[in-house]
Structure 1
Amino acid sequence: MLEYDEKRNYIRMEIDCDITYRFAGSDELHHGRCSSISGAGVSFIASQVVDPGRAMEINVVPKNTLTPAMTAFIEVIRSTQQEDGSYEIAGTIKSIKGD
């Protein structure tokens, strides 16, 4: 039997798909690459640093058509520069937008 010692409330799933995002109060759309998602949070790669506490609307676009896109509102908790100059943005999901 496999043992799983996860301390999080939700299991994190590693994914690799497109993400679009915009900052609260802005219509300017930015593009990134989603790297993981859970029931409570998301992380993605972006070309710009984002300050913690910033509110954003994200749209995660899966590679296959069987899984629908997800639009959510997040609060950024961390922005870490990567070796290639991009930034890993981590955020807490505050709500998921319905149809």
Structure 2
Amino acid sequence: MLTHDERRDYIRMDVDCDLTYKLADSPTVKTGRCTTLSGAGVSFIADQAYAPGLAMEISITPKNNITPPMTAYIEVVRSTKHDDNHYEIAAAIKSIKAT
């Protein structure tokens, strides 16, 4: 059995792959960079901040063909500004879209 020191329900994995995202009520799709992923949440780099509680749809495209792409519905938890004028968006995964 794997053990971990975090007090989370799911282990958070560092990832580095492409991600697309859009607001739940918008057809406009933007591109970002997925940085962490767990069974309950995701974080990614975006070009602007988003308010907590905002509903979005994301699609994660892994770098290899072993792991299939994933589309999920998320709720923004927080936005943190980085020095390079990008934002780290932390979000809770609300559901996975069936393929």
Same fold by TM-score greater than 0.5: yes
Structure 1 stretches of 4+ with a deviation exceeding 6 A read: none
Query: C-alpha displacement at 1:4, in angstroms?
Result: 2.8
| Equivalent in the alignment of 2:4 | 4
Query: C-alpha displacement at 1:92, in angstroms?
Result: 0.3
Question: AA paired with 1:47?
Answer: D
TM score, norm. by length of structure 2:
0.95
- Cα RMSD between the aligned structures? 1.2
Structure 2 gap ranges (5+): none
**Partners of 1:66 and 1:10 in 2: CA distance:** 21
Question: AA paired with 2:20?
Answer: T
| Equivalent in the alignment of 1:90 | 90
| Equivalent in the alignment of 1:36 | 36
| Percent of paired sites with the same residue | 59
Query: C-alpha displacement at 1:5, in angstroms?
Result: 1.4
TM score, norm. by length of structure 1:
0.95
